Amino acid sequence: IMSSSASKVRVRAVDDLITEYLTFQGYDQTLENFLESTSTTSPNARVKDLDGDERDNVELILSEFMMAFDEGNHVDLFILWQNHVPRPLLRVNSQHPDALTAMKLEFYLNLHCAVYPFRDEVLAEAGSLEEASKRCGKAMSVFRRYISSRGKSLSQTPEFIAFYALPYVPSPTEHPTFKGMFKEEWMLELRRKLRKFVAENLEGGGERKLPAIFSTVEKGQRVDKMNAELREANDKLDNVVSFAESVYNLSLELWDSLKRRDGDTDFVMEVGDQLRGFQDTFEVLKGAGRGGDDDASAFQAEPKQQQVPSPLNSPRVPRPLAGSMGTLASLDMGLVKRDLLELSSRDDGGVGCALLLQALRWRFEKGLSFQTRQSVLHGYIRNDILGVSSLVSGDPSLGLFHSLVLNPSPLVSEYAARFVNSMATHGRARRYLLGKGCIKTLCKTLLECGEEDSIGRQQVLGSLQKCSLKREAQDDMIRGGLVGWALDALRGHLREPLADYSLEYVTALLMNLCLRTEGKRKVEERMEVEEGTGEDTNSLEVLMKLMESHNMQVRQYANGAVYGLLQRVGVRERAVGMRADDRLREISKRSRANFRRQIAFILGLLISSAPEEPSD
């Protein structure tokens, strides 16, 4: 049974809703009569009590925020954050004037939770060194996921650039860049900012929310409108696909006539390959547009490397029914691996093996739902589709992975690289590819590809760059000579431009390797050799030229690589000697505002006297 005080609160809340409704509709006379009747029982008590309840509620929420903050409890803190911070402030790229403040505060709160287990008082509370290490590792893992997702939007802001290296620093409490976060003043100041921000946004500046009934009706109207727009868009899509398919069928007839007349010439077969590419597009559009899973999209983009037309001269096959990719038949993975091994050694130019690799890749790339794609990929990993677990340390040539990626047939090695590159997009697959010898085999493949910017080399490069996010892979790549290879490739780009895909991935790979002390040391050694041989342009100058690239991704990666290298005292001294500061100022004048801020941060590091970072 409801208590008397609780009943009064409920009645007052209903009265307040009625008052708001009458005011909203402009029923002034009715409102006046209503207020008279309610005020006779307890004049002004209703408003005062309600205001008091609201104040109590704000204080309760604030105390919960402070408790979660003081305990470094990431889960509780961000549940409160999501529940009580207004939605417009949480959206990435929001135009709300306070959105940037909220985003920065959210970053610092994640940072606080990441370093909290490293504090002396928290380490002292841990039961054992192993328990403390486990807590620290978990906190850094959560922070790493954050900076690669929501926190990515601040990666170009100078204020936060240094913090993106935090998960890779073994002893943050001793690092000069991060020492300040472990001081009591830093935590108290952040706590004050959090309390002030939450209090201001919870109180809402005196604004009142509309009654729930209005919000519900408004949402329903928006849903109806969006459904109508979706139906209209689907109808338009059906019309476009139908028209395009009719043109496609006519093109097929013309192609058949051309083939009968001219035979299997290179031109005829190239046209046939392009037509088969259009056929795949129609299948995806028709399957996703109607009757597919809710999370499928007809407009879902494929990775750049999959947009290259297939060179396989396979016969045209009957087209499957729309939506047939939704449910997949099971495969005997043992037989699949046996066939891959047998086909890879056949003397047929590698067509059969390449076709099987392409079919396996499409099996998880073209699944209509996320669940389907993940299920296929996990099945591949669980059944060791590439024979990674069978690789023997010291003799990787005994494994299926080696026989595919380093196959004498360029076609097999290219399609194996396509398959690996597509898998490496997923974190679980990257962990799978860290098996014995995989990274070394990929490094060897890349080094043997030569200077030609071929599709096969691009696929291997893409695979390595994605795997270079892992520390273990970085070690293998640095030992395998990829730092020098990347510098040579970028130097060659100045003479003969690389494709955008290659340029982006080479620069990103070099930046990731320069996160490691050994990677930076390799570049510094390279600069010493360049000085001795009288090279016109050293490695640092090459990267600085890329900071003016028209490709913004390349600019960002070159910026990150230069920033990492300048943490080495020797590189800083050489940069000062070649008047890199003047060059950076010239680049800054020709750059946009956000990039100018990044250059200013690099300039600050260049002229600083900071000691060399500890080895990782």
Q: Give per-residue pLDDT as tens, 219-247.
A: 778 888 888 888 888 778 777 877 777 77
For residues 480 and 443, what is the distance between their CA atoms, to the nearest angstrom?
A: 6
Cα distance between residue 81 and residue 550, in whole Å: 39
- Report the alpha-carbon distance of residue 322 to residue 241 in Å, rounded: 13
Mean pLDDT for the chain? 78
Domain match, 471 and 495 both: no
- The stretch 44-67 carries a mean pLDDT of 64
Domain boundary among 327, 362, 391: 327
468-473: average pLDDT: 88
The reply to whether 211 falls in a domain is: no
Contacts 24+ apart (CB under 8 A), 399-405: 399/437, 400/337, 400/340, 400/341, 401/435, 401/437, 401/438, 401/441, 402/437, 402/441, 403/341, 403/344, 403/345, 404/340, 404/344, 404/353, 404/357, 405/441, 405/442, 405/445, 405/460
Specify the pLDDT at position 387.
85
Confidence band of 34 (pLDDT split at 50, 70, 90): confident
- The verdict on 59 and 187 lying in the same domain is yes
Where does 398-481 have alpha helices with state H?
Answer: 400-405, 410-423, 427-433, 438-448, 455-467, 471-479
Asked if residue 17 and residue 88 are part of one domain, the reply reads no
Residue 224 in any domain: the answer is: no
Question: Among candidates 344, 462, 362, which has minimal Cα distance to 400?
Answer: 344
Q: What is the model's pLDDT at position 375?
A: 86
**586 & 510 share domain:** yes
Q: What is the DSSP letter of 461?
A: H
Highest mean pLDDT among 273-277, 390-394, 582-586: 582-586
How would DSSP label each residue in 271-298? HHHHHHHHHHHHHHHHHHHSS--TT--T
- This prediction has a pTM of 0.49
Per-residue pLDDT band for 192 (boundaries 50, 70, 90) equals very high
Q: What is the CATH number of the domain that holds 459?
A: 1.25.40
Q: Which residues contact 88 (CB under 8 A, 6 or more apart)?
A: 94, 96, 99
pLDDT, tens digit (0-9, with 9 covering 90-100), for 530-568: 877 766 678 889 999 998 888 888 988 998 999 889 988
Is the residue at 452 inside a domain? yes
Predicted local confidence at residue 35, as pLDDT = 67
In a domain, 353, yes or no: yes
Looking at the structure, tell me whether residues 369 and 515 fall in a common domain: no
Q: Is residue 220 part of a domain?
A: no
- Which SS3 state, helix, strand or coil, does residue 175 take? coil
In a domain, 441, yes or no: yes
pLDDT at 106 over 90: yes
pLDDT digits 0-9 by tens, 20-30: 677 667 676 78
**Could you give the angle at the alpha carbon of 141 between the alpha carbons of 150 and 605, nearest 5°?**
70
Is 78 found in the same domain as 151? yes
Burial of 267 (0-12, 13-18, 19+ CB in 10 A): exposed
551 and 485 within one domain: yes
Higher pLDDT, 446 or 389: 446
Whether 214 is covered by a domain: the verdict is: no
User: Which of 450, 477, 504 represents a domain boundary (last residue)?
Assistant: 477
Q: Do 265 and 165 lie in a common domain? A: no
The pLDDT value given to residue 205 = 39
Shared-domain flag, residues 96 and 200:
yes
- Cα gap 93→217, rounded to integer Å: 28
- The reported pLDDT for the residue numbered 325 is 46
Domain count, the chain: 5
- Residue 210 in any domain: the answer is no
Residues 94-114 as b/e (b if ≥16 CB within 10 A, e otherwise) read beeebbeebbebbbbbbbbbb
36 and 54 assigned to the same domain: no
Domain boundary among 11, 27, 43: 43
Average pLDDT estimate for 296-323: 36
pLDDT at 217 over 50: yes
pLDDT higher than 90, residue 171: no
Q: Quick one: what percent of the chain has pLDDT higher than 90?
A: 19
Residue 362 has pLDDT above 80, yes or no: yes
Distance CA 127, CA 134 (A): 11
Instruction: Give the domain extent around 270.
Output: 236-327
Helix (H, G, I), strand (E, B) or coil at 392: strand
Q: Are residues 114 and 249 in the same domain?
A: no
Same domain, 158 and 298: no
Per-residue pLDDT of 560-614, as tens digits, reads: 999 889 988 888 888 888 888 888 888 888 888 778 888 888 888 888 876 766 6
